[in-house]
């Protein structure tokens, strides 16, 4: 199977953000995406952003245009949210983002009326219905398809770092899971989801797709749901490992880290250097550790099995790659990763709110609603 990788400008940025719709009083999810999307159909066709539905009717997704910088793409997302609020505010619907909803139940949710979603549910049954998960996707332009899998294999070593920074699903259906990112482990239950197979060039990827299509596993490349994957239609590498970020500044920071890492490794390829790779079994362990412990995880950072606290390794990464961030024009957003390290990721803030409220998870939802509007709340804010 021959698959074209679209032409794309190097290190450009595209963002996708899955957002929950909730009742402002109860905090429970509401399946009102179809009516919101109908209300937004009159938007100008020349807008750079898009607003679309997702698997469940309790979700909308906002998508940026192609940004020549992180700030450019983030501005698109901000404009999309402003547009969405023009419909949700009058309708009495609140917005929030996290990897999971603290207490909503899967059996109360409705699947969007699209054939691809019905096909997914028919095949995956209980696990598919349990996909009450929300994430962000970061696309980075790659100018040569020959770079795609060397870059993916090197970036896989940083998926646990990104997963820890974005971890925001410590609760599931009213239960405190003990995981920073329960979403990470739920999502990988779907066929074709989870960590990427260790492929090394584009022809191997084409052979993989041919096998999957021939055996009825999928219809096309869009059904590859790896934590990091090629997006041939756009000419990008797409990082999908992250929970839904709870605030726009955090989305910008994680996007900047992804952009800088891609550019850093791309420059190494330009210099003829081999990129670092870890054995698949280390990636699997790292994913579990980041899901379980978040920013308190110790991760395996090289093929020799060296282990480092993820906070420490991220701090060193920020220091060493700061010049690349400045050159890409995302220095401010890149520096925001340090802010997450200092203030804690969303999972930690949610747990603190739940503890302060005596375990009341409605308080956690209200906290997430406030954060989505105003940015991260400090530990001294009243909840």
Which of 122-126, 318-322, 367-371 shows the lowest mean pLDDT across its residues?
A: 122-126
The mean pLDDT of 122-143, rounded to a whole number, is 94
The predicted-structure confidence for 50-97, as pLDDT tens digits, reads as follows: 999 999 999 999 999 999 999 999 999 999 999 999 999 999 999 999
Average pLDDT, the chain: 95
Radius of gyration of the chain (CA): 20
pLDDT level of residue 47 (50, 70, 90 thresholds):
confident
**CA 220, CA 274: separation in Å to the nearest integer?**
31
**What pLDDT was estimated at residue 376?**
79
Distance, first Cα to last Cα, the chain: 54
Give 148-211 as a DSSP string: HHHHHHHHGGGHHHHHHHH--B-EETTEE-S-SBHHHHHHTTSTTEESPP---SHHHHHHHHHH
């Amino acid at each position: 199977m021959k698959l074209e990788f679209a032409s794309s400008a190097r290190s450009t940025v595209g963002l996708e953000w899955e957002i929950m719709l909730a009742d402002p009083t109860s905090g429970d999810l509401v399946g009102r995406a179809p009516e919101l999307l109908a209300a937004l159909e009159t938007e100008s066709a020349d807008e750079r952003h898009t607003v679309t539905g997702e698997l469940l009717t309790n979700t909308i997704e906002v998508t940026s245009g192609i940004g020549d910088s992180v700030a450019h793409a983030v501005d698109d997302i901000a404009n999309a949210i402003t547009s969405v609020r023009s419909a949700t505010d009058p309708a009495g619907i609140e917005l929030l983002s996290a990897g999971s909803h603290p207490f909503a139940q899967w059996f109360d949710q409705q699947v969007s009326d699209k054939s691809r979603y019905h096909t997914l549910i028919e095949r995956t049954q209980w696990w598919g219905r349990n996909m009450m998960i929300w994430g962000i996707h970061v696309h980075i332009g790659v100018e040569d398809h020959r770079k795609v899998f060397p870059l993916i294999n090197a970036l896989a070593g940083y998926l646990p770092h990104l997963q820890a920074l974005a971890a925001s699903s410590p609760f599931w259906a009213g239960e405190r899971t003990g995981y920073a990112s329960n979403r990470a482990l739920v999502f990988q239950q779907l066929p074709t989801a989870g960590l990427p197979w260790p492929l090394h060039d584009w022809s191997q990827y084409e052979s993989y797709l041919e096998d999957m299509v021939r055996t009825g596993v999928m219809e096309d490349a869009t059904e590859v749901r790896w934590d990091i994957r090629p997006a041939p239609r756009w000419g990008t590498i797409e990082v999908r490992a992250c929970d839904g970020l709870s605030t726009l500044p955090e989305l910008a920071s994680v996007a900047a880290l992804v952009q800088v890492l891609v550019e850093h490794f791309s420059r190494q390829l330009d210099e003829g250097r081999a990129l670092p790779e870890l054995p698949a079994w280390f990636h699997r362990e790292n994913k579990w550790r980041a899901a379980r412990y978040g920013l308190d995880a110790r991760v395996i950072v090289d093929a020799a099995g060296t282990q480092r606290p993820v906070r420490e390794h991220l701090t060193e990464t920020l220091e060493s790659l700061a010049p690349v961030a400045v050159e890409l024009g995302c220095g401010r957003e890149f520096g925001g990763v340090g802010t997450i390290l200092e203030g804690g990721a969303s999972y930690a803030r949610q747990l603190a709110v739940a503890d302060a409220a005596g375990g009341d998870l409605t308080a956690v939802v209200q906290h997430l609603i406030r954060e989505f509007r105003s940015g991260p709340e400090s530990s001294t804010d009243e909840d």
